[in-house]
Amino acid sequence: MIDENQLVSLLKNSKTQEKAFRNLISLYKERIYWHIRKIVLNHEDTDDILQNTFIKVFKNIHSFNEESKLYTWIYRIATNEAITFINKKAKQRQVDLSELQTQMTHNLQQDELFNGEEIQYILQKAIITLPQKQQLVFNMKYFDEMKYQEMSEILDTSVGALKASYFHAVKKIEKYIKAY
């Protein structure tokens, strides 16, 4: 298995870039897909955003400064792409973000690719009630089991603020589920 530094070198080399990019996609596609999917809750939208994410990675790999991990950098691009998509969708529909997220949750039950049980649906509804930053932090910590330091690099937020966001998110989710 190739290490991340070697992969970056191969990605930045025009002779090896194409093959290295295929390796990059096979390494990270599934994890990035599910990260985006937790934000937009729709398979087709997730696929589009995933494709846009990898296009941006390909176009901007030479500007990757290697101060963070490659995966962290890709994760940040995917997060920004997903948030931009959600905000643009809300603006196009002329609704606020919370109303759009409520609509997205209702659509989740009709999504044939969502095979979750009732408790998973309730959890998704609870997550949607959180402010966007808390949603991201909760998903990254709870589902992706990401360390606070990695989240800090991706979201450009202090570890302390992330811990507080996660704590508040968990409390709000618990309250929502108990009231459900």
For 65-93, what is each residue's pLDDT tens digit? 888 899 999 999 999 999 999 989 888 88
Among 165, 163, 146, 164, CA closest to 154: 146
Structural domains in the chain, CATH included, are: 1-95 (1.10.1740.10), 116-180 (1.10.10.10)
pTM of the predicted protein model:
0.84
> Quick check: 17 pLDDT over 80?
yes
**Percent above pLDDT 70 for the chain:** 92
For 45-63, what is each residue's pLDDT tens digit? 999 999 999 999 999 999 9
* pLDDT band of 122, cuts 50, 70, 90: confident
**Percent above pLDDT 90 for the chain:** 64
* pLDDT band of 1, cuts 50, 70, 90: low
- Mean pLDDT of the residues in the chain: 89
Mean pLDDT calculated for residue range 2-17:
92
b or e along 117-147 (b: 16 or more beta carbons within 10 Å of the residue's beta carbon)?
Answer: eeeeeebbbbbbbbeebbbbbbbbbbeeebe
Q: Are 42 and 101 in contact (CB under 8 A)?
A: no
